[in-house]
Chains A and B, each alone.
Chain A
Amino acid sequence: MAKRQTNLAKIVHPSSKITNQKRINLSQDRLSDLPDEILVSILSLLKLEERQRTSILSRRWRYLWTFVTCNLVFDKSRLQPVWEKYKCHEISIADFRTALYSERSKFIVWVNDVLELHQGDTIDEFRVFFDMDGTFSAVLDNWIRFSMRKKVKKLSLNLLSLGRHKYSLTSQPFQSYSLESLTDLSLTSVEVTGEVLEYILSNCPFIEILHVEISRSLMNLKTSCPLPKLKHLKIIFCQNLKHIQIHAINLVSFKYFGCETTRILLGDIPNFVSLSVMDSYVGYSFKNRCPMSHYFSQLETLELMILRFFRFPKLPKLRNLRLLKLDIHRLFLDGIPCCTSFLTASPMLQRIVLKVTLINLELFVGLNDPQMDGEINVRRDTCPHQCLKVVELIGFVGCFADMQLALYLINKATSLEKIIVYTQRLSLGEILHDSSYIKKKLAAATACAKKLETSLAPGVELLIL
């Protein structure tokens, strides 16, 4: 490769570049007159591919993009159209695989080239989001070493691989580098053991966010050293995880998608205000023997995702709860009793976000009777909720159940300020039905949402998105 000149020595103070004619001729290239550091700032606001394309603008611009230090994000957006075609059965799995392998080779060349060309001293965020399994260990290890050399703050690997032989993260690429800059570590579809995590965490005194998703080898997440800066912990679908025990006294939020047989010991965490759990852990967490139940009085945000059958438990008092997000399957939980329980348990609740998911498409068709005749009358509630200000309904279809739920909440919330209705359908519908069908359903849903307007008190805003 030809030698490249380092342009950044050209950081000039603007005073040395003043020319009197600067404003007279508008067809001049004035942007290139700006000092390098401003141009690099502008380039850092562009996506990597666009940034890289500025290399061809002119000599001045050729290597400016390589000085950007804010982020290097390598993602799979190029794979998306191929994936869509495969999902719609336009191409076979064999064709998809061929396309994937070809794109992947090019992807690896791209990343390696960009890393080679990079001239900045540091990198704030290094992110790789692509289908890469264990056969690419050497490559991935090298990329990690690169980001460590550049004192990366946020390291994120999402390797998507559906195959058995996932990439295993070892402590090897981290050794001989200082990990002090690392504040944010996110690993998805990367096999990482508790030992390796312990090694990394014990060398990262400033770590604030830890996210591990889909790692079968994670059995124990135990750290002996304190993690005073850790604020956000996300452990998702690590099916063999038996034990979490960390000393993170300043923990603020915890997201856990896993089963109740995992022992979770977080200790005394006075700043802990946000919990997100799923399925059976939801019911378990409300039981007294579950360690999570001790924190309920502290919680300000609670997110529950319920996709399987579930008997709703008796709720403890959620004295400090301000924001409730429920992602539930339409059939399994009847919206109104569920809401009633939560509203009664959470007197300070200000915002509720309800997402009602449909997994089975046939049911989508059956439940959908958006053409409603006559009024739905919901009895005026005797126990109004004084604090609820914002209601958000995601996946609103306009059927009877949806309208009932919406009207129930509207009537119950005497201090309601805003109700937002999201009618955009999930991708499920988009895949299996043609767009005209979807458009009709959306229009019907929107029409129903509009009917809610008549039930609103004056001054309450209705947004249909």
Chain B
Amino acid sequence: MALELKSSDNKIFEVEELVAVQSETIKSLVEDGCADNVIPLPNVDSKTLELVLDWCKNHVDMKLDEEKLKEYEDKFIEVDQAVLYDLLLAANYLNIKDLLNRACQKVADMLKGKTPEQIRETLNIVNDFSPEEEEEIRKENLWAFEE
């Protein structure tokens, strides 16, 4: 059975139900009988949706081959930050656990071993603390900052 998904930029994707229900969100729509028409996904653009569907399809195809799947996942997640965030948001919205976990792991790996200053630089986070507040935080979390 095929389903039709519409991205935020109005592109229609036709997918097998088996592939689409990797998304718990879509799965519940199907189970509730709301999936007869085109399913609009206003929070996912076509570029991201294409990637997500590729992930889902491969997870159906390679379900039994753990090694091959891991190889695929590792290659899949090698994307630049902007795409990674889009994937995170899409995986969260569509409720695709394994994609969300993999993407979270990728971000976590980006944070590991870095100082707060380095993390801010990598992620473009603006430090909005006053020097006094920073001092307070360092005291509150003394052991962690002493390392």
Contacts and interface: CB of A to CB of B under 8 A. Distances in A.
Query: Which of A15, A33, A48, A52 counts the most B-chain CB atoms under 10 A from its CB?
Result: A52
B24 to A, nearest CB: 15
Contacts of B82: 23, 26, 30
Interface residues of B, number: 42
A371 B85 CA distance: 56
Contacts of B142: 106, 109-110, 113
Contacts of B104: 38, 41-42, 45
A57 B111 CA distance: 12
> Which label, helix, strand, loop or mixed, suits the secondary structure of the A interface?
helix
A1 interface: yes
B125 A113 contact: no
A2 B140 CA distance: 10
B136 interface: yes
B112 interface: yes
Contact of A49 (B89, B108, B143): B143
Nearest to B92: A38
B143 A110 contact: yes
Nearest to A59: B128
B112 to A, nearest CB: 7
A156 interface: no
Contacts of A288: none
Contacts, number: 120
A344 interface: no
A94 interface: no
Interface in A25-74: 26-35, 37-38, 41-43, 45-46, 48-50, 52-59, 61-62
Interface in B18-52: 42-43
B65 interface: no
B14 to A, nearest CB: 24
A18 interface: yes
Given A29-B123, A41-B100, A56 B129 contact: yes
Given A30-B81, A30-B82, A45-B105, A53 B144 contact: yes
A78 interface: yes
Query: Which of A35, A41, A78, A110 counts the most B-chain CB atoms under 10 A from its CB?
Result: A41
Interface of A: 1-2, 13-15, 18, 23, 26-35, 37-38, 41-43, 45-46, 48-50, 52-59, 61-62, 78, 106-107, 109-110, 113, 117
25 contacts: A2-B136, A14-B92, A23-B86, A29-B124, A30-B81, A30-B85, A31-B124, A35-B92, A37-B92, A38-B88, A38-B100, A41-B101, A46-B112, A50-B113, A52-B141, A52-B144, A53-B115, A54-B111, A56-B137, A59-B128, A59-B129, A62-B137, A78-B147, A106-B142, A110-B143
